[in-house]
Structure 1
Amino acid sequence: MAVKIQQQNETLEEAKIKLLQASKKKGCSLLVLIRTTTNDTLPLQLEPNQNDDNILIIDSYHLLINDYINSKDLVFI
């Protein structure tokens, strides 16, 4: 299994390519990509929780919590 966390300075597509390259070198068949930013407009095949080339794309906890807070208009002091 190979796991890649998207870096701040890379798109989800760039992170996916790096994960695929690393997994080929190491012979991994299951791949997990953790999305850390929503700056990208995601093509349908890269939506989180969908498989593409045996890649499971999931949102980071930080991203999930921020999305929840923003959707509820919560304010923290």
Structure 2
Amino acid sequence: MNFSAPSGEVVADRLSDFGIWEAEYRQTLQQFVQEVIQQAETDLEQEPAPSRPTDVDLQALLDDLRAEIAATRFALQQYRQSLSD
């Protein structure tokens, strides 16, 4: 087989084609990113702002959580005892 080196014109054409493809790819990617950002901004605008409870009794909340933890520990101890019996 006899392979000849490609002419400069062929290489230049291929590089030109690649440059055009790359520019189109970058433009398409940039448009996609802009659309995603716009959609995210629209979604955020439509989402209601999170409400923050103003009258929360933190001490009562802590007491409730401690009670739940104690009940869970008790249930776990009973379960472990039932396994060892």
> What TM bracket, shorter-length normalisation?
under 0.3
TM-score by length of 2: 0.21
TM-score by length of 1: 0.23
Larger radius of gyration: 2
Greater relative contact order structure (CA < 8 Å, 6+ sep): 1
**Which structure is higher in strand share?**
1
